[in-house]
Structures are given as C-alpha cells and as structure tokens.
Amino acid sequence: MKIKFFSVFFASSFSLLFAQEVQEFDTILKIENLEFHPKEIRVYKDFSTSTGLELFRMYYDENDKINTEFYYTVAGKTESGKIKIRVRNKKLNSFKNPEYIWLELIYSKIIHLPDFDEIRYKLTPKPEIILNEEGELVTVKIRPAMFLDGEIYFVQIKNDGIIKSLEYPSPESYLGKFPDMDELIIFNDFLNIIKEEFKIFKK
C-alpha cells in the first residue's frame, strides 16, 4: 500500500512540476492562450544554459487539416545594453505528406515511453565491492553519467483521448553513452523525424 501511495505521489509531483515548466515556456513564447487541440504534438527544446527556447507544434485543426508551426526566441540588446528576448514563429513544410509524418511520430512508441526520471536508475553503474586494507568488504559507488550541455526536451501529446507528457534532458548525449538503451533510442528516433523532416532542433 505504501508503494502505491509513493507511486501516485511521484506521478502527481512530476505532473505538477511539468505543468509549471510548460506554463513558463508558454509565457515566454507568448502563447499562453493558445488552444491545445485534441490531436496535437508539442515539443519544447529548452536551452537551460542560455535564453534559448524553441517549440515544435503539429496539430489537426477544426477542419481536420494538419498544421505545423515553429516558435523560437531570439536574444538581442537594447540601447541601454539590457538583454531583450524576441519571439519568432513560422509555418513549417515538408516534402512528405503531413499525415504520414504525424503517423510516424505517433507510432514511434513515444506514447508508451516512461519519463526520464523512471529510467535514471539504468544510468547508474553498479557499486563496486572491494576488500580494503583492514580486510573488510566495502562498496564504492560510481557516479552516474551526467551531461551539462543544457538541452532539455519537453514533449506533450494528445491523440484520440491519450495524453502523454515527457521530459528528457540531453537525450542525444545520453544515447552516445548508452547506445543500446531502448528508451533513449525511441526518444531520439522521435526527435530525428522532426529534425529531418522540418530541419529544426539542429545544434
């Protein structure tokens, strides 16, 4: 019973923190009142080490037509030298049928993916057990891999009544370190569809 309570508490805490982060992003991008459609994908890329923020948005509108948009921030300076953040947005196009791309994204298994915090244990090496000089067995904990490139992706998906929220920090860097981890492969495959079809989220 305690385990169930902890699981529910953890999920609720994540949902609350995720919602707060996304709300802050929407405020920066000036899209607080932008409707989230019943069939929509949003992918935020937060450059946490700088003022950069990007948003990929793909959705079916009221006429059952697919729209694809890209929002991003541009940092500049005022005459007094203060940093000023401007927001830009544009329509995205691809050579492929947009319905095909939508299905590629939805069926990439992203809907079934756990959040990064749920797989973090896989990134932590097993402690080493050694015999010290006194003849005692001791454990030596090895630090998990950490990447500080400052890129964090937040994914929100609504599709046919299914709602999914995910947060993955530095997924490309982690995949380079753990190339066989299924969750990282799936998340990066999802991102690569967007990158290749719409030429965004490039480093």
Judge if pTM exceeds 0.85: no
Percent of the chain past pLDDT 70, that is, above it, reads 87
Domains by residue range for the chain, with CATH: 34-198 (3.30.1560)
Rounded alpha-carbon distances, angstroms, from residue 108 to 39, 40, 123, 142, 163:
16, 15, 23, 33, 15
Q: What is the mean pLDDT of residues 148-160?
A: 88
Q: Which long-range contacts (CB under 8 A, 24 or more apart) does 92-99 make?
A: 92/56, 92/68, 92/198, 92/200, 93/68, 93/198, 94/68, 94/197, 94/198, 96/197, 98/58, 98/66, 98/68, 99/66
Render pLDDT for 101-137 as a digit per residue (tens, 0 to 9).
999 999 999 999 999 999 988 888 777 777 777 778 7
